[in-house]
């Protein structure tokens, strides 16, 4: 796509964005008017903005809208990537001069591989909920195909799986420049395959995916029900594994829980290491917000960070999006950031996020899950069939409510706070070793938060 076509496409996108009911004139003028499409490569459209903050804001608030508009205009799954630097101008100058400056090559590589430049190990906040996954990813990055192969990561939406996966890619590019890497979503893999079949280019498709040293595949659950794509991915997996190449896969669930996934693929996904990422605890959420504020050079009072962290508990993407929303609200209204302003800025999303979860509700859902009576949660019975679910309910009460430990103990038949501490510690330790328990608690938690 030449420069004129690129400009026409983006102008058309901007025209449609401006006509959307949810995009006000002031928002359009501030965020979209100064933007410019600077490159189209491998189905990624790179859009230059006025700041790193603008990159985050547009991507979080309007990324899906722009992606849908691009699909409607072109019929292709074009992914918008928002940037703030002069990398493309440098690349273009070097291409014209045919120089091979190593530093410049390294600067352009993340863009060539479709990696988000912000998704590095340095920018990832490590906490109890993700420390094992982080350690596994770093081990793979340091020694591809020697540590864990394949590495399979799973967890809910917005918890950092893509960040860690792309961090592996950045680390390998920086420390193993001779290695050929590829980051791709399962959806893009499927679309590439369909287009290759349509244009009789399957040999090119296979060479493209089977000659890399590191294959990073996101959202593998997208292959559900796609028998032809599963067949092709099976052979791609085999070719890379047998050639001792590293494979990293991400999903929103365990391999055994991906519906209609062929058994032979499922078994291969389990050959290496399977690790998960859990929703962050309060301390980690605050650390994530602090790092985000620091990276954007934004002064945010501690009580505001605590307010955000308490309201948004399960999704890092929404957590950071809330901070961006508050900062933008402060800028637009020329007001200092405080808890009152934060509450105003988030009023549209807090009714959903800030449901009042009670211990009684937690007890009810846990009891239903384990086929017990709610009264068992408060009883003095100590059989494992009752005591263990009760400990799970105490653990979830600590995670999902703001109640003190003594108060939680009172809700469980007047138990001492040390009993609650013991229960929480026991479940936390069990979660590190028991994937099935981990999945059960995730399901219970999701159900509680959906009621």
With 60 as the cut, is the pLDDT of residue 96 above it? no
Cβ partners under 8 Å of residue 339, min gap 6: 301, 303, 304, 307
- pLDDT single digits (tens) 251-262: 988 888 787 778
359-450 is classed CATH 3.30.565.10: no
- pLDDT single digits (tens) 218-244: 999 888 888 888 889 999 999 999 999
DSSP 30: I
With 60 as the cut, is the pLDDT of residue 92 above it? no
Q: Give yes or no on whether 3-83 and 359-450 have one common fold.
A: no
Burial of 329 (C-beta count, 10 Å sphere; 0-12/13-18/19+) = middle
In degrees rounded to 5, what are phi and psi of residue 183? -110, 130
Whole-angstrom distance, CA of residue 397 vs CA of residue 403:
8
Cβ partners under 8 Å of residue 450, min gap 6: none
What is the per-residue pLDDT for 214?
94
What is the per-residue pLDDT for 24?
67
So where are the chain's domains? 3-83, 121-276, 282-346, 359-450
Options 3.10.20.30, 3.40.50.300, 3.30.70.20, 3.40.430.10; CATH of 121-276: 3.40.50.300
Q: What is the fold of 3-83?
A: GMP Synthetase; Chain A, domain 3 (3.30.300)
CATH code at 282-346: 1.10.8.60
- pLDDT single digits (tens) 290-309: 988 887 788 889 999 999 98
What is the average pLDDT across 96-118? 51
CB–CB of 83/91 below 8 Å?
no
What pTM, to 2 d.p., does this model score? 0.57
CB–CB of 261/270 below 8 Å?
no
What is the per-residue pLDDT for 22?
61
């Amino acid at each position: 796509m030449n420069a004129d076509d690129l400009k026409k496409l983006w102008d058309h996108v901007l025209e449609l964005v401006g006509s959307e009911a949810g995009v006000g004139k002031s928002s359009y003028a501030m965020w979209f008017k100064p933007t410019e499409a600077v490159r189209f490569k491998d189905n990624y459209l790179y859009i230059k903005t006025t700041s790193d903050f603008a990159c985050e804001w547009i991507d979080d608030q309007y990324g899906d809208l722009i992606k849908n508009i691009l699909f409607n205009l072109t019929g292709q799954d074009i992914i918008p990537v928002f940037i703030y630097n002069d990398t493309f101008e440098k690349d273009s100058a070097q291409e014209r001069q045919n120089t091979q400056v190593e530093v410049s090559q390294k600067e352009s590589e993340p863009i060539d591989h479709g990696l988000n430049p912000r998704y590095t190990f340095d920018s990832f906040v490590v906490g109890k909920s993700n420390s094992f996954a982080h350690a596994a990813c770093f081990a793979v990055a340091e020694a591809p195909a020697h540590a864990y192969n394949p590495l399979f990561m799973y967890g809910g939406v917005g918890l950092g799986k893509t960040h860690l996966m792309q961090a592996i890619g950045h680390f390998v590019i920086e420390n193993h420049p001779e290695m050929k890497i590829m980051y791709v979503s399962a959806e893009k893999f499927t679309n590439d395959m369909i287009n290759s079949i349509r244009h009789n280019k399957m040999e090119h498709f296979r060479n493209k995916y089977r000659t890399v040293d590191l294959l990073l595949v996101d959202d593998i659950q997208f292959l559900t029900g796609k028998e032809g794509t599963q067949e092709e991915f099976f052979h791609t997996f085999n070719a890379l594994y047998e050639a001792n190449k590293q494979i990293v896969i991400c999903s929103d669930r365990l391999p055994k829980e991906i519906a209609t996934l062929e058994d032979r693929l499922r078994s291969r996904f389990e050959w290496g290491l399977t690790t998960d990422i859990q929703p962050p605890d309060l301390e980690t959420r605050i650390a994530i917000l602090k790092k985000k504020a620091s990276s954007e050079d934004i002064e945010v009072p501690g009580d505001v960070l605590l307010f955000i962290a308490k309201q948004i508990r399960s999704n890092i993407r929404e957590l950071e999006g809330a901070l961006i929303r508050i900062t933008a609200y402060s800028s637009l209204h020329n007001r200092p950031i405080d808890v009152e302003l934060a509450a105003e800025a988030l009023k549209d999303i807090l009714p959903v996020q800030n449901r009042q979860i009670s211990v009684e509700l937690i007890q009810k859902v846990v009891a239903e899950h384990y086929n017990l009576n709610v009264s068992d949660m408060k009883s003095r019975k100590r059989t494992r069939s009752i005591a263990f679910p009760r400990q799970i309910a105490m653990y979830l009460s600590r995670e999902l409510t703001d109640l003190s430990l003594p108060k939680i103990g009172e809700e469980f038949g007047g138990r001492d706070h040390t009993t609650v501490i013991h229960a929480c510690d026991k479940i936390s330790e069990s979660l590190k070793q028991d994937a099935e328990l981990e999945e059960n608690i995730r399901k219970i938690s999701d159900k509680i938060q959906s009621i």
